[in-house]
Structure 1
Amino acid sequence: MSDDRHTAIPLREFPDPALAYTVDGDDARVTAANDAFEQQFEQGPVGRRVSTIFDRFNSCDTTGDLGPVSHLVRGDRIGVRLDGYGNRGPFFARVIPSDGDTGYIVFADLRECPDEGSPPGVDQVSSVISHDLRNPLDVAKAHLRAAEETGDPGHFESVADAHDRMERIIRDVLTLTRDEAVVQPTEEVAIETAARDAWESIDTEQVELTVSESLPTVTADPDRLQRLFENLFRNSVEHGVATDETGTGQATESPTEGRSDGRDGQTRGSTTVAVHPVEGGFYIADDGPGIPSAKRDIVFTPGYSTQSGGTGLGLAIVDRIVEAHDWDLTLTAADDGGARFEISFC
């Protein structure tokens, strides 16, 4: 096993098989591996191309829309389901980008998860996400140790970020795994109020919200309705950003990077999110790049994500909340090409 002192997080902090990598052209090279990886797979993987690790498996499916190495080189945080490597696995590999062109791949054995043989669903995704909680926990532990050793207070910001991510993962998983009884549509809720309250709870810098004053009032669970708006707003805000054609714009994502909702990037960013009434309901629309029609079903699948750091549960939670209220949800294109989520009260 290679000395891992050069990595930001010591590989020994990962309880599962893990390796560190550095991007090298259109592939990446293994720079270190922990004992668990060498015991599970092989000894001395340092220097090998990461693609050769994935090539050992007969089946290799990512949570994104590209091959695993392409996502890795691009700096995406994704999951990879691997199967067909002797009598081992199947595995769920987490690609975790770090500083610059470096990162980690952590392998979780799906035999430890219930209903592995079933089609991907809430139970399986919950088990996979529970493994994902280990990553921010390990990050927090490593930075706390570094703060103790160096006295550098900058590490505490990383600890706080890791805790925030764990809290969001836990909340998302609980929302998906609880049954319909958790949703109690017993109050008269003003759609306009729910939308504005949700907007205040997320980071919406440089994005404008327009809310119609003629939105209806509906019998709903107020907490879940606000959660629905939060997830849809966050989806529009996070995925409406795009760089210019030369890649030199001020946005933080490239046209095709960081999409958790299957959007194809264009050369303009989302600047407006609108909530307006329709007959028998309301809709949320943005003026971002939109979602291709071929991907409008899969984006609601639990665990589907190509966003760096995304759990792939945001839109799945929206779908669950709508279903629990006995409403209907339709995803179409907005008039200006963005995404439009229309909710009808049945």
Structure 2
Amino acid sequence: MVQFHAPTDTGQGKSPSQQQTTVLLVDDEPDFLSLAKSELEDQIEETKFITASSVRKAHFRLSELDISCIVSDYDMPAKSGLQFLEEVREDHPNLPFILFTAQGSENLASKAISAGVTDYLQKRDGGQFDILANRVINAVKQYQAEQTQKKLAETASRLRAVVNSTPDSIFIIDSAGAIVDVNEQAEKTLQYNHSELVGKPLSSVITSREINDSIPDVIGSRSRVRFEGHHTRRRGSKYPVEVRIKEIDHADTDQYIVIAQDITSQKKHKQTIDELNETAMALMQSRSKEEVAEITVQTAREELTIPFIGIWFQDDKHDVLTPVKQTGKAEETLGAQSEIPLEGAVADVWGEKEPCIFEGIQTPETRYPEDVSVEDEMLFPLGEFGMMIVSVTDSRLYREEDINLAKLLATNAQRALKQTDREEQVRAEKMFFDAAINTVEDLFFAIDENENLIRWNDQVSAVTGNEATYIGSPTLDDIFNSEDRGKITHGINEGFETGGSRVKATIQTVEGPQTFEFKSSKMDYPINDETYLITLGRNITPLEEKQAELRQKNERLDKFSRVVSHDLQSPINIASGNFGIVRDDISDEHARNAEAVENAHSRMENLVNDLLTLARQGQQAIEIESVSLDRLARKCWEIVDASDADLEVRSSENIQADPSQLQQLLENLMKNAVTHGGNDITVTIGTLEDGFYVEDNGSGIPGDKMDHIFDTGFTTSDSGSGIGLMIVSDIAENHSWGINVTESDSGGARFEFTESP
């Protein structure tokens, strides 16, 4: 058994003195716990003290933390310190437990010792914490030392198990090269027992030129050495091994570890690889799967002298293997190949993708002629592509080496088929890419750093209409006029320098001059380590025309806003002001008429304000950001004239919205609720899984009015403008929100705004 020097740490990179020490203090008196914690922290460094005021809490701390020591009082409610000790010992038999109590007696001390207490200390005035600190330090040191030794013992045990389970021969030798210890595999392989090998020179069981030198000379200044040699068994037979020698890094020893690995199979594998190397290169240069099959069959016949071999490819549509190629000898003797259904044993081999040999296959149901004696059949799956099948008429002619050669040939054929398949996929992907870039309506360019067009789509010729003028590849000069050519060059340079660029330029198209926006992104192409600029050019002439039209509309809206704000607002203000002066002089007989006039003034004022809001909203682009629904709702409520109404916000979450438009939406809904529900109404705002809602506890919306509340001019109030809820609908549409109007739990109106799918 190999003996390894135990490591000097716990496997965590820390010595016992460096480990995190946590001490649990348990006492039902909080003041004493605080004092004890403070005193011990002053006297013991690098130690964390955790307190618990009951046994229940102490158990919780013990289950959650890695505790190194427990200091517990004796007299505590519910359970005593001794009862706590007995419970601790069930799961932690070795954990230090110090009973620190004001009650002291020989009987208590005896019980504590019987229960397995680590130490027992009475609470006394003066110096008690100095003594307790010393006891804690000693207990923790001893406990951590025991834990370290336990871990080291476990590590050594696992290490011995690993060493003895390895298939390699392992030796421990001294500086003179004498064997000190060996593993079980070395004894088994060399056919010696342990006592016969110990003391022998390493050179007696490993022959190599390097072993002739002294071990320190072999190692030299290197940390380890590796070389090839031969293992010599008791009876003198030899086999090749790879030898690795490393000095054991331990201050108390001058020994070395030697690992000898059997490389017989590796040598044989290398030989077969060398024999098939030229064929493998030819296979990898094949341009089609059929060519791979032909080279594979030819190699098997000429180099491996396998007379009866064939290649079948899978037919996905019919779930069969279809014949592709076989040797002439196979066709002459066994007949022409036929399809092989993927069923039975063949299906099993195909599914497992592992070579298999079927012995004694000759039966009346076989696909071979009755007058031909085929003893065995070797099936070699070629990945997902097909199968190589070798028919054996005399199993004595095939050794293990021949089967290995056939396996290697099949492996090389599979790799070649995979590469050929990838190349076919690349060609297909190239065709797909060409079709894809020719499908898009945008212009597509791939430009190198010398401003040469490497790739372009058919849209370039279709748009410019001058394909016939191109000689060879088109150039940027063929596409852009001299006025914009400088901007294009600047954009290309910017794209290569910063990773992207955006340029507007005019192209003379078949429909006349058109403005295009070209967006470019730099692409590093790993195949040839070159960098290109991928550019898409989109015709923005219709967009610019639409933007010009929109600017004209905005100008008209702006003029309208000025007219509304001045030419209409001023007369309304004058009318409302003068009517307010004479309002008190109107007799009761005409009070109803006066109220109608006031309502008309309010309606005109609301109408003007809402029209202004609608006009401004149409001029502004929305800017989405994270908005606090709670904060914005309370800000809106301050504007609403509802002194007796209440606002309740049931969410502190943020939503994504344009702040100004969301504020307008909330103000309109709040005003609508107060107008129709009265000043004592409660408005509630909260969030949904995919949006938010606004509801009230008013009288609700009549069922026959529900489908018309967002119509322009619709209102049930004498002073309403009929535009407020239409503005709410427009704002929701600007944000792509869906609106669901329903009844609240209290019977009022509820507006739900959710993100559209």
TM-score range, shorter chain: 0.3 to 0.5
Q: Whose helix proportion is higher, 1 or 2?
A: 2
Question: What is the TM-score of this pair, normalised by structure 2?
Answer: 0.22
Larger Rg: 2
For normalisation by structure 1, the TM-score amounts to 0.45
Higher relative contact order (CA 8 A, sep 6+): 1
